[in-house]
Structure 1
């Protein structure tokens, strides 16, 4: 969005995504000067060539602005609102969220550490472009980590512990039926996180979730047409239910087949 172009801003306001504003927020340049940070405009972050980003659906509250911006940006990645290959600046995104550029840059730096974006000097952050090969590699690594753990847990965890996870499995079914990729992505991670948490290895859970989150980012180019539609989400959620039933029954052979198919379908 071109800075100071009212017409462009008004066009963004007509987006189906609700406006996000933090009350009584100072201008980005004021906040940056107070903190001794050179603002985006001075640093040379150009926003004139950016594609407008739809406003996030939920309101950003005063507390934990950076965390809420990070969550909103992660959602925008999953839905494709942050488009692969596009460059976004701190000031440009800050204007969309109604906050200073500083928490946006902080959130983007975290996404850079996660591999979702890369820093473009004097411009901002470019969303990383991914293809089917990377998706297949992520699925392979996830399978190498999660399948052995799931088979071990299938032999040792009592049925009542597995039964406690029914609400999470059912939540994935509801999310899939809604067709909202962001909602499904969150519920999908929550289900897998709860399964692996029964292993009692926090490092395992964190590594697996990082891989899972990266696997949910959109593809680029021709591969982008392979984005998962509602039917695929529903099928994926149904596998969660079937897997949980097999775990409760301690049917290790079925668990092995289901987990293998689940990761194969993620490609």
Structure 2
């Protein structure tokens, strides 16, 4: 059974130990400390985090509900690498949740709400990261921007669901930023989303978010199909689960 190693950050305060454990495990998955398919011990994770096993087990049960990890009886747990079918379902869920959320966020401004400065800040930070060609920083601000939009829509619970879905899809290939889709292009896809929300344009905000998620989804799904070596066909799987 592999040792998680230095990527797990010890929990230093008492703020919801379970939630802190969730965040630490997710970060370990992001940075590659926890690898898909390897078997890990809840006891060892708790030891590395400096907490008891109870909040860690609760954290893993939460992550299991999202499909990010799988328990094996009397052995431990594994980080789950989503296959093409599972990935397509995740993409479909994100579209179903985030498109109406973008519309609700725009409706908030249409009704005269005060602009949330964080939206501007993350948008500008994404642009700066794109200009620096800093993929890790860009992805960080990308994720925060999507989270703020969900918060503006009054969707705190949906925000947590989407965060877990993003974690799972990042296992497929940390991002879609490669070759034909660079940082500038991804930033350009976010621009009409933010502009429509700030302008209070409900329909344009939904359409721009829908376009962005579908562009991202197709690239991720094609990569998953090629890596899996399966007989899945992108067009067929997309039409059956998403369109």
TM-score relative to the length of structure 2:
0.67
Per the TM alignment, residue 228 of structure 1 is displaced from its structure 2 partner at its CA by 1.2
State how far apart, in whole Å, the 1-side matches of 2:107 and 2:115 are. Answer: 12
| Alignment partner, residue 221 of structure 2 | none
State how far apart, in whole Å, the 1-side matches of 2:102 and 2:47 are. Answer: 45
Structure 1 portions without partners, runs of 5+:
1-48
| Alignment partner, residue 228 of structure 1 | 175
Q: In the alignment, is residue 213 of structure 1 matched against residue 164 of structure 2? A: yes
> Are residues 167 and 79 of structure 1, via their aligned partners in 2, closer, same or farther at CA, if it must alter by over 3 Å?
same
CA contact (8 A) 1:77 1:218 kept: no
State how far apart, in whole Å, the 2-side matches of 1:82 and 1:124 are. Answer: 13
Q: Which has the higher contact order (CA 8 A, sep 6+)?
A: 2
CA contact (8 A) 2:66 2:164 kept: no
Per the TM alignment, residue 189 of structure 1 is displaced from its structure 2 partner at its CA by 4.1
| Alignment partner, residue 94 of structure 2 | 142
State how far apart, in whole Å, the 1-side matches of 2:174 and 2:201 are. Answer: 32
> Are residues 188 and 209 of structure 1, via their aligned partners in 2, closer, same or farther at CA, if it must alter by over 3 Å?
farther
Structure 2 portions without partners, runs of 5+:
218-243
State how far apart, in whole Å, the 1-side matches of 2:104 and 2:60 are. Answer: 38
State how far apart, in whole Å, the 2-side matches of 1:169 and 1:101 are. Answer: 39
- Within 5 Å, give how 1:9-20 maps onto structure 2: none
- Higher relative helix content: 2
SS at match of 2:168: coil
Instruction: State which drifts further: 244-253 or 106-115.
Output: 244-253
Alpha-carbon RMSD across the aligned residues, in angstroms, is 3.4
TM-score relative to the length of structure 1:
0.62
Provide Cα deviations, 1:170-221, integer angstroms capped at 9, x if missing partner. Answer: 344456654327x835x44432233233344xxx44135303422332566x
CA contact (8 A) 2:8 2:48 kept: no
- Aligned match for 1:154, one of 106, 111, 116: 106
> Are residues 157 and 99 of structure 1, via their aligned partners in 2, closer, same or farther at CA, if it must alter by over 3 Å?
closer
State how far apart, in whole Å, the 2-side matches of 1:228 and 1:178 are. Answer: 13
State how far apart, in whole Å, the 2-side matches of 1:212 and 1:61 are. Answer: 23
Q: In the alignment, is residue 124 of structure 1 matched against residue 61 of structure 2? A: no
| Alignment partner, residue 120 of structure 2 | 166
Q: What is the number of residues matched between the two proteins?
A: 209
